[in-house]
Amino acid sequence: MNSNIYANSIEFAVSNGRIQVKQYHQDLKLVGTGRSACVFRIKDTNKVIKVFPSQFTHIAQKEADIYKLLINSNYFPTIYETGENFLTMDYIEGNTLFMCLNKGIFISEKQINEVDNILNEVREVGLNPSDIHLRNIIVTPDNQIKMIDVARYKQKKHDTQWNDLKNAYYRFYLHPLFPKRLPECMLNFIAALYKRKLLFIRFLTGSKTPTSRYKRSKENRWG
């Protein structure tokens, strides 16, 4: 089946910055929705198609170009096809770190270090890994870390999300009394507070960055 047909079968509804899909081809199964696109697994394949609504189509080519720079890395899906409003790539089975927290699957220090190693590898090819948050990191069934959503890896500004998450991990998550399973509504609530850059969240995560940095990373988010 032609990927253009799949991409064009999708009917989006975007309101208040949230994307929803109203309709899509019967060969597709929705596996995730982000801030700029929806991702579907293609029936009887190990591939997904990431489709962007009209206001975000410019991201498709940009993201594909970055994935191509990472083609030699095992930590990223391989890209197969790009169109005006979509890209196709490997389906990555597993749980995002967001799902791990929601399901109570323990996130180990080794996994956190692995993400750090991957980000260093990304920097070595001249990219600036950004938008690194819980929903863009997948733990596979054989405990490998895979990264997705690379569209912002060429941005100039420094993104503090991953460092903030790491601070929260060591400061709170590893504490024996900290619950290892958190309801989705609570995770979304924390993400929303973080997004609004409330000072106390920065305080809680241990970051001592100046106020200007809150403004600079206004669009950052955790979840």
Q: Pick the binder of ligand ADP from 12, 24, 91, 222 (CB under 6 A).
A: 91
Copy the structure tokens of residue 85.
């409003």
* Window 95-124: residues binding ligand ADP (CB under 6 A): 96
Partner whose binding site includes residue 51, from Mg ion, ligand ADP, none (CB under 5 to 8 Å by kind): none
Catalytic, out of 131, 149, 159, 164: 131
Please give the distance of CA 95 from its chain centroid, rounded to a whole number: 12
Characterize 170-196 residue by residue with b for buried, 16 or more Cβ atoms within 10 angstroms of its Cβ, and e for exposed: eeebeeeeeeeebeeeebeebbeebbe
Binding to ligand ADP by CB under 6 A, coded x per residue (else -) over 4-43, reads ---------------------------xxxxxxx-x----
Q: Pick the binder of Mg ion from 149, 153, 190, 223 (CB under 5 A).
A: 149
Residue 34 binds to Mg ion (criterion: CB under 5 A): yes
| Beta carbons of 76 and 70 less than 8 angstroms apart | yes
| Beta carbons of 6 and 42 less than 8 angstroms apart | yes
Give residue 104's region: left, alpha or beta (phi > 0; psi -120 to 50): left
Binding to ligand ADP by CB under 6 A, coded x per residue (else -) over 137-176, reads -----------xx-x-------------------------
Q: Which residues contact 202 (CB under 8 A, 6 or more apart)?
A: 164, 209, 214
Stretch that binds Mg ion, among 26-34, 68-76, 168-176, 180-188 (CB under 5 A): 26-34
Residue type, 213: R
CA atoms within 13 A on the CB side of 175: 8
Q: Pick the binder of ligand ADP from 66, 92, 191, 201 (CB under 6 A).
A: 92
Partner whose binding site includes residue 96, from Mg ion, ligand ADP, none (CB under 5 to 8 Å by kind): ligand ADP
Specify whether 27 is catalytic. no
| Beta carbons of 28 and 53 less than 8 angstroms apart | no
Binding to Mg ion by CB under 5 A, coded x per residue (else -) over 117-136, reads -------------------x
Q: Smallest gap, in angstroms, from Cβ of residue 59 to ligand ADP?
A: 7
Report the C-alpha gap between 198 and 167 in whole angstroms.
Answer: 16
Sites of contact with ligand ADP (CB under 6 A) = 31-37, 39, 48, 50, 77, 89-92, 96, 135-136, 148-149, 151
Residues assigned a catalytic role: 131
